[in-house]
Amino acid sequence: MIIDCHGHYTTEPAPLQPWRDRQLAGLVDSNRPLPGPAPVISDDQIRETIEKGQLKKQRERGSDLTIFSPRAAGMAHHVGNQKTSEQWATVCNDLIYRVSELFPKNFIGVAQLPQSPGVDPRNCIPEIERVVNELGFVGVNLNPDPSGGYWKEPPLTDKWWYPVYEKLVELDVPAMVHVSNSCNPCFHATGAHYINGDTTAFMQFIQGNLFKDFPTLKFIIPHGGGAVPFHWGRYRGLAQMLKKPLLSEHLLKNVYFDTCVYHLPGMQLLSKVIPTDNILFASEMIGAVQGIDPETGHEYDDTKRYVDQLGLSAEDLHKIYEGNARKVYSRLDGQLKKRGLI
């Protein structure tokens, strides 16, 4: 089985955006009626968007199951207030659940959290409990910067975040560290802010001692870990200068990387410096970079092509394509059995 641990619903049915527009319009004009509890979207509308989009690409590229979450840029935690985020997260997560119910052999949910700048993250706990216990989700996306590029929250190692971590450990689900859109003009969202977020999260983990307090907490850093693999020697050296243990002990029992790297040399570097046990296959499909690479003639986000060219052993390929995802997403096996996939 080939499990893609990082996919987003970037082809949402058309009624979702007008509903969101009405929700946001209500923030600036109190006379406008609030939208209903959820946009009216039919099963056929969901089927059409998935069958022409993500499912089509799954079949063309040879993957089997996508761990699926709402559009990352669309989370937009910097917009509105806590109530805005709560309502929006519920709508988006419910839509992911419907996808997973309509296509149970192809998609399984990961949640958007109702974060908001400066708001205590423990407010996310009810939604974490709901999506895991009621909807069968196997993880969450945690935004380290709900301000959208201005980094107003404490580092991820700060005890401010601990209530969320306690719940994740209790439920045995991992978090993918994933920023959302950028409202800082200095940072292009997918070209700078995403990579900044990944890299910053890793450095925060180096500086802290989070995993002494939470030895079973698991994070996935997406987009190949941002700049981390390219500067692996720098981060090993910084850990040494900060009197931290070797990264193999300090972080790599808890922190994992995906393969959302859009060229073969980058994938080769990732596989050389990061242990195979810490790499999960992912494509971000349908994601940040769309189009045909003129150097290869293939789509940039067809990352399986790059993994297949790494010359890895069958054992290592199995870890990247399936084994590591089932290890990191501990609840995944239960869902796979329920769906008759193992």
**Helices marked H in the chain:** 16-28, 43-52, 54-61, 72-75, 82-102, 125-133, 162-171, 194-207, 210-213, 232-241, 247-250, 264-273, 303-308, 314-318, 324-328, 332-338
At 89, give phi and psi (nearest 5°): -60, -40
> Is 249 a catalytic site residue?
no
Q: Which of 284, 295, 315, 322 is catalytic?
A: 284
Residue among 146, 148, 137 nearest 156 (CA):
146
Q: Is 205 exposed, middle or buried (0-12, 13-18, 19+ CB in 10 A)?
A: buried
Spatial distance between the Cα atoms of 114 and 171, rounded to a whole number of angstroms? 18
CB contact at 8 A, 69 and 112: yes
If DSSP codes are grouped into helix, strand and coil, which group holds residue 66? strand
- Residues labelled as active-site residues: 284
